[in-house]
Chain A
Amino acid sequence: MNTVDRRHFLKWLGAASALGAMGLPSLAFPKSGARVIVVGGGFGGVTCAKYLKRFDSSLSVTLVSATNKFTTCPFSNAVIGGMKNMDFITHGYDKLSSVHGVKVVNDTVTTVDSSAKKIKTAGGKSMGYDRLVLSPGIDFKWDAIGGYSEAASQQMPHSWHGGPQTVLLRKQLEAMPNGGLVVIAPPGNPFRCPPGPYERASLIAHYLKNNKPRSKILILDAKDKFSKQPLFQDAWADLYPDLIEWVPGSQGGKLDRVDVKRMTVYAGGDKHKASVVNIIPPQKAASIAFKAGLTNEKGWCPVNQKTFESKIKSGIHVIGDASIAGKMPKSGYAASSQGKVCAAEIVAALRGESVGASSWVNTCYSLVAPEYGISVAAVYRLTDKGIMPVEGAGGVGDREAPMMQRKMEAIYAEGWYKSITSDMFG
């Protein structure tokens, strides 16, 4: 190569590199500019909206949330137990719009028209989409327990949505007499946050032990076993002997009915008059999933296990508690993990690319006392049987673990909360 040739070559190479740096990647990373609407301002929806923008900033992403702030269920038991206040579990969407460019609309979706690809809201808005993500959470089967209703939840709170119901249960515990009875009635599977009722019993026990020690907690369970059971029961025997009694479904735990006026619960032929009654009713996907025609006969949404696109209607993805996601539990961490996978699948589909294999994680801490934490964890993969935990990994903590580990897990429980909420709202 002579000098001229070399100079030419370098020029060519420069042009080629410039193409490589700017021109060609637009083919390799096509910006779709498509419109994605995400419905639901909780763990699944917020994470999905934020990660859609992280993966492709050219997308037009709108998050529709019924409230302008989100109160988490995680750590609401710490509010009920008097360890945290409501501010700790309440988060705003400001950064989602100001930092990440997600358009946040405070409204309730009333209609989903999957053929016209449009939604309508209670506030009278009509919005078109290329892809729709629903992360609507759960509703209750109000008529499943005789004598119970939505109105009855003002006397016998469910406190299974973070917010006013959390405050109501806390106030009732503060007002109850020393020596009173607290009834907690968890539902059968599947339901949101499987270890939640037992963490709640633990943290209420912690409050009662220190403030109203002659009181008792009776857990009237629809089930015969529950999440992290050995770890919870070991801790109860250790920390709250004679304070918590758990009655399994087959031994009188199943509710027959409740009498709200008399604050009385009937179960297994017995009658329990209580100071505080926490009924956690059986659940189903939130109403918008039914209105959109996305639910099966059991009241949950079947989805493609890779993309979370509805098996019933195309162009609509369902994530979080409302969806049937293989063996993943209905938890905030699971919903957030699904939100990221769903976001990547949508971006890839709009670009004509393939995500390849995905993995999901769920790590769930429960507090048994302020300095006593326990956990269950799993890594999930897509298999021919749907989303399954990786064998040989995950599981609950060691029953024989030293107290130092319990203490560390209590510290990490709060660390987890800070991380996941900043991953969503930060």
Chain B
Amino acid sequence: MKQKLLRISVVVTSVFFIWVANVSLAADYRPAMLANPCAGCHGTDGASPGSIPSIKGLSSSHLVSVMKAFKSGERKGTVMNRIARGYTDEEIELMAKHFSSAK
């Protein structure tokens, strides 16, 4: 009986965590809201059909280091220095994850 109760409580807890994980996923519009405007230049989900570099599927760490280098001015771009300064480091990381995992 004791074991059965324990089992139920484990199951209830796992269901609860899975549910919470999904709720927080649903509520988290933030990475997409940060990344969607980038498509104007870099193409849908970062897949550029023209001369502007594609960023879809690039590794997250690579994207973060490039964006931070644009932001600090260490790397000179055309418009990207001006754009990168508009985001916090945390936001840059969220966007990088979004583009690296884009399907």
Q: Do A and B come together as binding partners? A: yes
Please list the residues of chain A having a beta carbon within 8 angstroms of any beta carbon in chain B: 1, 5, 8-9, 12-13, 16-17, 19-20, 24-25, 28-29, 51, 333, 336-337, 340-341, 344, 348, 351, 353-361, 363, 375, 377-379, 390, 392-395, 397, 405, 408-409, 411-412, 414-420, 422-423, 426
Among B37, B82, B87, the residue within 8 A (CB) of A340 is: B37
Decide if B83 touches A379 in the complex (CB within 8 Å): yes
A361: B residues at CB distance < 8 A: 37-38, 40, 83, 86
Decide if B79 touches A363 in the complex (CB within 8 Å): yes
Given contacts A375-B78, A418-B49, contact A363 B41 (CB under 8 A): yes
Please, which residue of chain A has its CB at the minimum distance from the CB of B86? A379
A416: B residues at CB distance < 8 A: 40-41, 50, 52
Residue B5 at the chain A interface, CB threshold 8 Å? no
Please list the residues of chain B having a beta carbon within 8 angstroms of any beta carbon in chain A: 3, 7, 10-11, 14-15, 18-19, 21-23, 25-30, 32-34, 36-44, 48-52, 78-79, 82-87
Chain A contact surface mostly: helix
A412, chain B: closest CB distance, angstroms: 6
Decide if A409 touches B11 in the complex (CB within 8 Å): no
B34: A residues at CB distance < 8 A: 359
| A424 to B18 Cα, complex, angstroms | 35
Given contacts A377-B82, A412-B78, A414-B51, contact A12 B11 (CB under 8 A): yes
Decide if A377 touches B83 in the complex (CB within 8 Å): yes
Please, which residue of chain A has its CB at the minimum distance from the CB of B91? A359
Decide if A423 touches B82 in the complex (CB within 8 Å): no
B75, chain A: closest CB distance, angstroms: 14
B14: A residues at CB distance < 8 A: 13, 16
Please, which residue of chain B has its CB at the minimum distance from the CB of A348? B29
Among A13, A353, A390, the residue within 8 A (CB) of B11 is: A13
Q: Which 3 A-B pairs have the closest CB atoms?
A: A379-B86, A418-B50, A415-B51
A395: B residues at CB distance < 8 A: 82
B19: A residues at CB distance < 8 A: 20, 24, 28
| A28 to B29 Cα, complex, angstroms | 13
| A336 to B42 Cα, complex, angstroms | 14
A422: B residues at CB distance < 8 A: 43-44, 49
Decide if B33 touches A412 in the complex (CB within 8 Å): no
- Can you pick out 26 interface pairs between chain A and chain B where the beta carbons lie within 8 Å of each other? A12-B11, A19-B15, A24-B22, A25-B22, A336-B40, A337-B36, A337-B40, A340-B37, A354-B27, A356-B27, A356-B30, A359-B86, A361-B83, A363-B41, A363-B83, A379-B86, A390-B86, A393-B85, A395-B82, A409-B79, A414-B51, A415-B48, A415-B51, A419-B42, A420-B39, A422-B43
| A336 to B41 Cα, complex, angstroms | 11
B13, chain A: closest CB distance, angstroms: 10
B43: A residues at CB distance < 8 A: 418-419, 422-423
Decide if A16 touches B29 in the complex (CB within 8 Å): no
